[in-house]
Structure 1
Amino acid sequence: MSSKTDEQKQLRAAVAALAERYNYVDYVLPKARRHEPLTELWQEASKLGFLGVNLPEEYGGGGAGIYELALVQEELAAKGCGLLLVVVSPAICGTIISKYGTDAQKQQWLPGIADGSKIMAFGITEADAGSNSHRISTVAKRDGEDWILSGSKIFISGVDQADAVLVVARTEDAKTGKLRPALFIVPTDTPGFVKTPMEMDIIEPDHQFALFLDDVRLPADALVGEPEAALMQLFAGLNPERILGAAMAVGIGRYALDAAVRYAGERTVWKDPIGAHQGIAHPLAQCKIELELAKLMMQKAAVLYDSGDDFGAAEAANMAKYAGAEASIKTLDQAIQTHGGGGLTQEYGLASLLGAARIARVAPVSREMILNFVSQHSLGLPRSY
């Protein structure tokens, strides 16, 4: 057995022990009902080095990979305390800056992202474009050495907790006149940067925001990497986002399955536990199989990404996110059904997870767009859109 495997097992056990103390019913749900962020969990997970496990050691990270960060997210979510901003700050923004940022950007941001003292949100989604970087209307124009950003974003997570937002804009190519994607670090206290909370109808500790960029002036060094490489930079962050989203979905599924199995083993009708009946046992067994399959695809995607296989990682990350979402929602629904009426009570803390689990089908990329990707790139069928 390799030492790396031992380290991964130790990491999994350590994260699970932390998550047990910050579990869903006792800690997360009360905070979520008050719309309060999971600050105490974030700070302790940071102190233990869990949140920067994928970032370079020279900047205070763990020097591991997306595999290990996904492991952290899965174990947190398996106790109902997955951290949405892990997907955003260390996985997307930390990865992009560590791969493409200047030395000054790395020094300024990576140590804080690694130890959790700084949080960076990610702004790509727009009302009329979704996450299609070729259609977004947020524009960055040169003004001397500075950049001027104008536009808007929606469904941007955790801006109230963030020190900056990594914003996807488009710049004009002087030679062709065409607009192309570019990434900019925008501190949240920059003049002209306005955030507005969005009214969501789900029970979640993290807020979603609409952003308005009203001629936001940024220095030249706000640009991350080279404009010509922006698509590569985007995918360097979007593949980890999908892998971490899959990890969160698998974890939620595990949480629901554990609750269902526990109840099915304890609840007796006519002297037998209800779990002795195939009508209860078989659907839960199916959920177990489908969660394990989704987990394997998530791990495959993480291994491919960490090994530098960008296309293989993109295919597997999309499939993992799809499989994780479907298995998670199915398992949560079955767990509620297993509990009968009890599954809808606050005592068991399952119905309140429906919104959070359902997110995985639409974010960070919808199941339909994943099916488009697989149809076109995996199967070689004609592009449908």
Structure 2
Amino acid sequence: MMTATDSAASADSTRAQDNPYVETPERAALRASVAAMSARYGQEYFLACAREGRKTDELWSEAGKLGFIGVNLPEEYGGGGAGMYELSIVMEELAASGSGLLMLVVSPAICGNIIARFGTDVQRQTWLPGLASGEITMAFGITEPDAGSNSHNITTTARRDGDDWILNGRKIYISGVDQADAVLIVGRFEDARTGKLRPALFIVPTDAPNFEYTPIEMELINPEKQFLVYLDDVRLPSEALVGDADSAFGQLFAGLNPERIMAAASAVGMGRFALDKAVSYAKERTVWKGPIGMHQAIAHPLAQAKVELEMAKLMMQKAATLYDSGDDWGAAEPANMAKYAAAEACVKAVDQAVHTMGGAGLTSEYGVAPLLSLARIARVAPVSREMILNFVAQTSLGLPKSY
């Protein structure tokens, strides 16, 4: 017989399922579990890995074993069978602990989603179980030195040679190549019907002959590095092509929308981390008659940071919900808006944390100073705020294209 307590719990669960603004018990439990795990590592672990030249292997491995890394991937391939909403929870809580993992954006979110939706049966069976468990990582290569944000100017080319593909080109700012088993490369091939170059996606193992990469020196304290990638007559079997070559732009949406959602989740989490540090300091730091947090000059900017982070989070959740419903185009606007809003909110939260803490905000003790550079990644990557504003102006407002 169902008790009153059972009935109330069931009603609460139903209300949560029907209300997009209330996380379901399952999502709340996931959030709590990720927060508990990441608290055992935190920023001290993250920074130590970066400064000592180590990878976050222990954190990545545990997150994989607990099912967090592949929570968005299909159950039949070892994933959690959930969606981008759940993976964004994982990213947000990791970042809120001071240990946001960039490869979580790339491996399960971009590459995993694309392969799950458009890969062949062999590709799914080969890559998805490892991507879900974290035992395999995959990088993503779209950005080029001379193309920037203009994907139409990508010069990495693929040509047929019998049943094989031959790839040539350069990629820049490719994250985590040194820890990846393969890179999902965006190239272009000549359409035999029109003679025009069309985009295509290829899985390129990092140990493939003539595939090379070199690190880019960055002024960032981060264990996940950036690389230049060189493809010089890299020969791939025909099965390296992902999905339908005639539909590659649509397939890219399946990866780029999650990329923006995860970038927003990372920025929201990082902003939360900085805000928590500043609030704790403002409660404890006493000057003259009481804690500095009692003064509106301190309290109001922190409150504003909280408001803006929460607004960005709502847009991120909207984007994830639309994406998980299968509405790729409908998710594009909120995904871009979420990334923009979260980046701005994160940068302001970090700056305000430093201002609140004064000199203490620049010490190693409080861990806020490293965020001054890390937070700005969200403004420029994976797409700049200016390109997002271009997208909104042209797509949402119907204004003439400016470029």
- Common fold by TM > 0.5: yes
Please tell me the residue identity of whatever aligns with 1:253.
G
Shift of 1:77: 0.4
* 1:9 equivalent in alignment to 2:20: no
Question: What is the match of residue 184 of structure 1?
Answer: 202
Please tell me the residue identity of whatever aligns with 1:331.
A
Please tell me the residue identity of whatever aligns with 2:244.
E
Is the Cα–Cα contact under 8 Å of residues 36 and 206 in structure 1 kept in the other structure? no
Separation in 1 of the partners of 2:50 and 2:282?
Answer: 27
Question: What is the match of residue 6 of structure 2?
Answer: none
* 1:94 equivalent in alignment to 2:112: yes
Question: What is the match of residue 123 of structure 1?
Answer: 141
User: Which ranges of 4 or more aligned residues in structure 1 deviate by more than 6 Å?
Assistant: none
Separation in 2 of the partners of 1:98 and 1:131?
Answer: 25
* 1:300 equivalent in alignment to 2:318: yes
Separation in 1 of the partners of 2:192 and 2:382?
Answer: 32
Separation in 2 of the partners of 1:184 and 1:102?
Answer: 12
Question: What is the match of residue 21 of structure 2?
Answer: none
* 1:23 equivalent in alignment to 2:34: no
Separation in 1 of the partners of 2:151 and 2:305?
Answer: 35
The two structures, once aligned, show a CA RMSD in angstroms of 0.8
Question: What is the match of residue 354 of structure 2?
Answer: 336
Is the Cα–Cα contact under 8 Å of residues 35 and 204 in structure 1 kept in the other structure? no
Question: What is the match of residue 307 of structure 2?
Answer: 289
Separation in 2 of the partners of 1:133 and 1:331?
Answer: 32
Shift of 1:355: 1.4
Please tell me the residue identity of whatever aligns with 1:22.
Y
SS at match of 1:242: helix
* 1:50 equivalent in alignment to 2:68: yes
* 1:174 equivalent in alignment to 2:185: no
For each residue in 1:76-96, what CA deviation from the matched residue of structure 2 results, as whole angstroms up to 9, or x when unmatched?
100111110000000000000
Is the Cα–Cα contact under 8 Å of residues 16 and 75 in structure 1 kept in the other structure? yes
For each residue in 1:26-70, what CA deviation from the matched residue of structure 2 results, as whole angstroms up to 9, or x when unmatched?
211111222322111000100100000000000000000000000
Shift of 1:164: 0.2
Shift of 1:148: 0.2
SS at match of 1:361: helix
Separation in 2 of the partners of 1:33 and 1:335?
Answer: 23
Equivalenced residue count is: 384
Within a 5 Å distance, the mapping from 1:1-385 to structure 2 comes to: 1-2=12-13, 5-24=24-43, 26-385=44-403
SS at match of 1:141: strand
Shift of 1:134: 1.3
Please tell me the residue identity of whatever aligns with 1:2.
S
Is the Cα–Cα contact under 8 Å of residues 139 and 151 in structure 1 kept in the other structure? yes
SS at match of 1:210: strand
Separation in 1 of the partners of 2:286 and 2:128?
Answer: 53
Q: Structure 2 unaligned segments of length 5 or more: list them.
A: 1-11, 18-23
Please tell me the residue identity of whatever aligns with 2:337.
M
Normalising by structure 1, what TM-score? 0.99
Normalising by structure 2, what TM-score? 0.94
SS at match of 1:147: strand
Shift of 1:203: 1.1
Identity of aligned residues (%): 70
Separation in 1 of the partners of 2:275 and 2:207?
Answer: 43
SS at match of 2:221: coil
